[in-house]
Structure 1
Amino acid sequence: MAVTSRDVARLAGVSQPTVSRALRDDPRVSDETKRRVREAAALLGYVPSEAGRALSSGRTRRIGLLVTDLGNQFYSHIIAPLHRELEARGYQLVLHTETTDESVAERLIANGLDGVILATTTVDSVVPVRLRDRGLPFVYFNRTAAYVDADATVVAPAAGFQAAVDRAMELGHERIGAVFGPENTSTGQSRELALRAALTARGVGLDPSRVRRGPFDTRTGDDATASLLGLAEPPTLIFCGNDVVAYGALNASGRAGIGVPEDVSIIGFDDLPPASWPIIQLSTIAYDYAHMAREAGRLMVERIEDAPNEYAHVEFGTTFVERRTLAAPRSH
């Protein structure tokens, strides 16, 4: 007769669920209990079966990550920490890159997932509604939708923008430009509101002629910056919706022979690894996106296994990181 987890539980003196948690290295199980369970499993020759786990628990232990904007470099940097967090809790990460709201919810459900982390949700997306109606748990990462509440890990941009604006004012910048993200994303909205609030607090307006919007990609930054630099009175400082947009802004400036920061300063958002490269040295607004990804994984597992009554909304604060691309305007 095959050895079962019940046999291991009896020998280790623990419950069967504890055996499962211990063997997948669940952080809620003490090191001593994990040791006893592993020794009992080794003594009995027990090998846990993923298929058996799914049948006994009704779970596949697979969690989807929905990214509809895979070209955005930001998301490549959060996959690894999210994968490690879920793996430590006994779950597998499955990447989904569907691009249409009409079919994505049905495909996620058809893939037999225990839950989904939504990473590129728009405020008007129907996906959260359909997942809720079908009973598939989900967590918002970075972006949220307007119609359905759920667990979420998001960025609180106010402090970072306030520090960046304060520093810009110290350096003498008055003509401020901005390349915001899409208006149908919570990140685009919150970052615009935070920048405008920080500028207003310093008595500085944001001239509509120096505002551009677009997707969070390098082309947006490139095209928008070329347009801004062509103005009769171009901005001396451009705030960008994220670092990827800022890379495009740097490209446009270089192509036009405009020095950064001699002629125009540029500030990004996210502090992705390339931002600190010597060749870029981008001033940017930073936060711990790796921790935010891990927290999304924790919330997802907690939602699946414990189904808390209240939704958790975890905010991550921001700081300003000053590098080479910010300096006093030439006229100052």
Structure 2
Amino acid sequence: MAQSPAPGDRRAANGRTGGPASQRARPVTSYDVAALAGVAQPTVSRALRGGSVSEETRSRVLAAAERLGYVPRDAGRSLATRRTHRIGLVVADLRNFFYLGVLTAFEQRLAEAGFQVTLFREADDATLLARLSSGGIDGVALTSLTLHSSLPRELRERGIPTVLLNRETAHPDVDACVSDNIRGSRMVAERLVELGHRRIGAIFGPADTSTGRDRARGFHDALAEAGVALHPAACREVPYTHVAGHSALAEILDSPPTPTAVFCANDVLAIGALNAAKARGVDVPRDLTVIGYDDMDMSSWEIIDLTTVHQNIDTMARTAAELLVSRVEGGDEELRRVVVPPQLVIRSTDAPVRAG
């Protein structure tokens, strides 16, 4: 029969020795880890949750935690399920209203299922992999990947349930919920042709993203079918930022012949273009039609009133949450890809081409 360890042995196993034999060993805390690693207690919390600390510091904290047998209380993992009831959400920039909409709907649906959301900022694949693999989450939703990212595959190989939301990679490694970006951009092209525009420009997003690739493809194809060609001088490929949209339209306006209409591959670019047009004294929509893509909340504000393609952000985020919860709870279905249909929303930034 195995014998129970003496009190002193229990203390040694917890990383503490000495003191009266009758003293009961207390649980290891994050302060113990901090003392052994030579850092402050908040640094321990950040390191174990994938927060912003140096890799050298993170390594020291992890080594100290392992030596002391420390289990973070906020890991909250029952011995039966090994779950934290936390889901990671990786976003590019919360200043972009699109991601705020995603976060709101995603968090609401997960709360209904008994999960909380932990936010992670976009970073390179290696950094994100280290943060997401630290053990503080049950699964993760990725919203801003490039086409050739290996992160979804690597997360899957580590047994971390993962879903792609908004963007996807070139090779389907995990579940995904996306908008029909090709169809949405085709709607824009068809609308511009219907309004009589023939000198058409575009501010596309990065070609190494699925949204940038597909929105450009759908727009090009629909215009080609209508016998309309995009002039290279009226097209730009830029990051999805307000500054990039502003600069791109300014360049396009300086490169005759100027277009009568411009498609912007997301609403942030479109709002940048609207501001550039106003700065140049170009009247929208009398002199220039501008159409965006996303239909984030501020696009409907009266001061903007942007004609755009509506992605049902609420449906996409809630669906992605449901796909992920299914995986966390042990679902072993084949890979699932849900495509949400878009709608063209007509507001006040598009108009028929002016005669002459």
Q: Give your verdict on TM over 0.5.
A: yes
1:146 maps to which of 156, 167, 170: 170
2:329 matches 1:305 = yes
In 1, the alpha carbon distance for the partners of 2:185 and 2:171 equals 27
In 2, the alpha carbon distance for the partners of 1:320 and 1:52 equals 45
Give 1:283 shift: 0.6
1:11 alignment counterpart: none
1:205 maps to which of 222, 229, 236: 229
The C-alpha deviation readout for 1:270-326, integer Å capped at 9, x for no partner, is 111111111111110112111100000000000111322301100011111111110
Is the 2:97–2:297 Cα contact (8 Å) retained in structure 1?
no
1:42 alignment counterpart: none
In 2, the alpha carbon distance for the partners of 1:156 and 1:255 equals 33
1:32 alignment counterpart: none
Give 1:195 shift: 0.7
In 2, the alpha carbon distance for the partners of 1:162 and 1:148 equals 24
Q: How many residues align?
A: 284
Which structure's CA Rg is the greater one? 2
2:300 matches 1:248 = no
Give 1:246 shift: 0.2
1:325 alignment counterpart: 349
Is the 1:69–1:120 Cα contact (8 Å) retained in structure 2?
no
1:122 alignment counterpart: 146
2:252 maps to which of 228, 231, 234: 228
Is the 1:158–1:198 Cα contact (8 Å) retained in structure 2?
no
Structure 1 residue identity aligned to 2:331: A
The C-alpha deviation readout for 1:21-78, integer Å capped at 9, x for no partner, is xxxxxxxxxxxxxxxxxxxxxxxxxxxx997763321111111001134443310111
In 2, the alpha carbon distance for the partners of 1:127 and 1:160 equals 27
1:148-297 aligned at under 5 Å gives the runs: 148-297=172-321
TM-score after normalising by structure 1: 0.81
Structure 2 residue identity aligned to 1:145: T
| 1:273–1:246 distance in 2 versus 1, CA, 3 Å | same
Is the 2:195–2:351 Cα contact (8 Å) retained in structure 1?
yes
Is the 2:196–2:352 Cα contact (8 Å) retained in structure 1?
yes
In 2, the alpha carbon distance for the partners of 1:185 and 1:306 equals 30
2:115 maps to which of 80, 91, 96: 91
2:100 matches 1:100 = no
In 2, the alpha carbon distance for the partners of 1:227 and 1:206 equals 16
Is the 2:245–2:270 Cα contact (8 Å) retained in structure 1?
yes
In 2, the alpha carbon distance for the partners of 1:120 and 1:162 equals 23
| 1:145–1:170 distance in 2 versus 1, CA, 3 Å | closer
| 1:122–1:165 distance in 2 versus 1, CA, 3 Å | same
Structure 1 residue identity aligned to 2:213: Q
| 1:105–1:327 distance in 2 versus 1, CA, 3 Å | same
Is the 1:155–1:318 Cα contact (8 Å) retained in structure 2?
yes
In 2, the alpha carbon distance for the partners of 1:127 and 1:53 equals 25
| 1:200–1:72 distance in 2 versus 1, CA, 3 Å | same
| 1:75–1:52 distance in 2 versus 1, CA, 3 Å | closer
2:101 alignment counterpart: 77
The C-alpha deviation readout for 1:82-120, integer Å capped at 9, x for no partner, is 101001111111111142222111111104211110011
The C-alpha deviation readout for 1:125-154, integer Å capped at 9, x for no partner, is 232232122221100001112245210001
For structure 1, the residue ranges without an aligned partner over 5 or more in a row are 1-48
Structure 2 residue identity aligned to 1:299: L
2:91 matches 1:67 = yes
Is the 1:161–1:320 Cα contact (8 Å) retained in structure 2?
no
In 2, the alpha carbon distance for the partners of 1:111 and 1:209 equals 50
Give 1:225 shift: 0.3
In 2, the alpha carbon distance for the partners of 1:103 and 1:209 equals 38
